[in-house]
Structure 1
């Protein structure tokens, strides 16, 4: 392109210094050459912008495809965690239902009370999102509705899942601390203790709350985001 501009610039110079042509002829030739230069530069800029835009949208398509897979994995992991909460709560509710006589009977027969332990860790995939965002490419997504849904999912719903899981884990470890503190006492007395029972009751409530966060907030948003991504990829 630079060579073409130089070529036509030289023609303008030659036209201006050509003593054989009249002023009108020179003006006409110069205008034509300027038009050619402007057209060539404009076309070059447009082609470059078009190529860059196409490349950006190809990056967006790859990102959305990877994001869709991440969200599908999020849903699977959420279902696994939900089942873990449900099973743990069943175990805790059995403990809460045990009477003092039943606890005495269990330990006299040298059996033990099964205390469910299920620690909930990081379950949401954020690598692809964080990489695309940190590279400043989120703006490449032209569908404003889709972009806002992605931002809401990763800035509101994903942190919410991680936060409620962390709160649950913190409280679960408080139960372990109470067990350690009462290690010198018979276990049947600890499980019959009203304060310890209240602790377990609260653990069940936290588990149910986290299931609600999964079912009523995060999963519906995840399914809706997958639909929006499919729409964009089909364009």
Structure 2
């Protein structure tokens, strides 16, 4: 093709047709420019197609991850409901306790500490690391994704602080001291005073009561409330993700 155009130019020059040569040269330049623009447009279309495929893949994987979170928090909500019920019963039993054995039964109904939430962040982290989150076309969806994981981070931090306070409070209770005795010699030796049991005026009674009350209203109730917030936000995000995926099909 190049040789063909070159031959035409040479013939025009040899025939002295300078004006036609210039017009032809300009036309040839225009054709080259148009060819380059078409090639760039095709390349742009191809890049856009690949980016759309990549975005769809990420959003599809993120949708599955959020679905897993929702199932997890639904189960956790049922568990927390049972723990709250047990804690309420334990507080009532605490007032009627007569000895250490009664208190140990009360103690067994409480859940003082919670493990970390089992939330997968792998897809979200990959979207952050590759910059894919910031190139999403749907700004509303982008904000919902960021807000969902920001909410989780803030609630995890808050629960850690609550757990830290719970641990400090537990160290001031006689049952904590009893547990230390058990760990040191394998059995309760019966030498701990128990006159304070059932006496709201005693410091031992009040320290244990405050610990139980804090545990019931914070470690259990707040965790359930935080989980409900994340569950609500997760359902909203999942709906937005599914809408976007359906539009992209």
TM-score (norm 2): 0.77
Matched, 1:140 2:135: yes
**Partner residue of 1:210 out of 223, 236, 245:** 223
Which residue is equivalent to 2:74? 79
In structure 2, the CA distance between the partners of 1:157 and 1:111, relative to structure 1 (3 Å rule), is closer
What is the CA distance between 1:86 and its match in structure 2?
2.4
Equivalent-residue separation in structure 2 for 1:56 and 1:188 (angstroms):
73
Structure 2 unaligned spans of 5+: 182-191, 199-203
Matched, 1:229 2:234: no
Q: Which runs of 4+ in 1 moved over 6 A?
A: none
Contact 1:67 1:129 (C-alpha < 8 Å) held by counterparts: yes
Matched, 1:161 2:161: no
Which residue is equivalent to 2:97? 103
In structure 2, the CA distance between the partners of 1:139 and 1:46, relative to structure 1 (3 Å rule), is farther
Contact 1:138 1:147 (C-alpha < 8 Å) held by counterparts: yes
Which residue is equivalent to 1:36? 31
In structure 2, the CA distance between the partners of 1:50 and 1:111, relative to structure 1 (3 Å rule), is closer
What is the CA distance between 1:20 and its match in structure 2?
1.8
TM-score (norm 1): 0.81
What is the CA distance between 1:186 and its match in structure 2?
6.3
- Aligned CA-pair RMSD: 3.2
Structure 1 unaligned spans of 5+: none
Which residue is equivalent to 2:177? 181
What is the CA distance between 1:144 and its match in structure 2?
1.2
1:70-91, CA deviations, whole angstroms, 9 ceiling, x for partnerless residues?
Answer: 1111112222332333222222
SS in 1 for 2:120: coil
What is the CA distance between 1:141 and its match in structure 2?
1.1
Q: Residues 55-134 of structure 1 correspond to what in structure 2 (within 5 A)?
A: 55-100=50-95, 102-104=96-98, 107=101, 112-113=105-106, 114-117=108-111, 119-134=114-129
What is the CA distance between 1:209 and its match in structure 2?
2.3
Which stretch of structure 1 is more off in the superposition, 16-25 or 194-203? 16-25
Which of structures 1 and 2 has the larger relative contact order (alpha carbons within 8 angstroms, sep 6+)? 2
Which stretch of structure 1 is more off in the superposition, 90-99 or 34-43? 90-99
Equivalent-residue separation in structure 1 for 2:194 and 2:30 (angstroms):
93
In structure 2, the CA distance between the partners of 1:20 and 1:209, relative to structure 1 (3 Å rule), is same
Equivalent-residue separation in structure 2 for 1:187 and 1:123 (angstroms):
41
SS in 1 for 2:69: helix
